[in-house]
Structure 1
Amino acid sequence: MIVRKLSDVEDVEWGNGLSRRFLTLRDGMGYTITDTIVRAGTTSALEYREHLEACYCIAGSGTVIDSAGDEHPIVTGTLYALDKHDPHQLIASPHEDLRLVCVFTPALIGDEVHDLTSEYSQY
């Protein structure tokens, strides 16, 4: 059994926020669970070419823009899933951080960070 508290995991600075990775590849579960903070007022161009991701908003608000340019509001209680390695933009509200619980498959090694200098980043 694996039991971890937020105080047990390290913060990984990923460019526009923090990712606290509760499960990683070394845990042998086949997926990663994170508690992710997206800083207020930031826009992140993202794409995971090797991972699928689902995000559930537990605090804050923002918008995710899909590759077709459609905007989807994110508020507490909203889930979005990137089921096709979708390029997307994640925008946090200018007034508050966005907090997401995210699941990645396959599992992250644990120290990956986004490259926000390119059009779309990847792990």
Structure 2
Amino acid sequence: MIVRRVYDVPGVEWGNGISRRLLVADDNMGYTLTDTTVWAGTRSPLQYKNHLEACYCVSGTGMVVDSEGNEYPIEPGTVYALDQHDAHYLIASPLEDLRLICVFAPALEGQERHDFSRLDFSQY
């Protein structure tokens, strides 16, 4: 059995926020569970070529924008799933941080960070 408290797990700065990786590859669950804060006013170009991800919003507001420019509002109670390794922008409201509970499959190692300079999102 694995028992952890979110504030006992060190946060990893992933680029535009903090991610507390509650379950990682070494836990042998096959997926990662995170408690992720996206800093207010940030716009993050993201794409996971090796992982599928689902995010559930627990607080704050924002938007996810797909590669075709479709905008989807995010607020508490919203889930979005990147089931096709979708390129997207994650945008947090300028007024408040966005807090998401995220699941990644396969599992993350635990210290991954984003390098926004390596992504080309000029088409949207």
Normalising by structure 1, what TM-score?
0.96
Task: Please give the secondary structure, in 2, of the residue aligned with 1:64.
Answer: strand
Shift of 1:120: 5.2
Aligned to 1:62: 62
Shift of 1:28: 0.2
Shift of 1:7: 2.0
Aligned to 1:118: 118
1:109 aligns with 2:103: no
**How many residues were matched structurally?**
121
Counterpart of 1:35, as a letter, is D
Q: Distance in 2 between matches of 1:112 and 1:90?
A: 17
Task: Please give the secondary structure, in 1, of the residue aligned with 2:7.
Answer: helix
Show structure 2 runs of 5+ residues with no match.
Answer: none
Shift of 1:118: 2.7
Show structure 1 runs of 5+ residues with no match.
Answer: none
* Aligned structure 1 segments of 4 or more residues deviating by more than 3 angstroms: none
C-alpha RMSD of matched pairs (Å)? 1.1
Aligned to 2:78: 78
Aligned to 1:20: 20
Task: Please give the secondary structure, in 2, of the residue aligned with 1:117.
Answer: helix
Counterpart of 1:104, as a letter, is F
Residue identity (%):
63
Per-residue CA deviations over 1:68-116 (Å, capped at 9, x if unaligned) read 1100000000000000000000000000000000000000000000111
Counterpart of 1:7, as a letter, is Y
Task: Please give the secondary structure, in 1, of the residue aligned with 2:85.
Answer: coil
Normalising by structure 2, what TM-score?
0.95
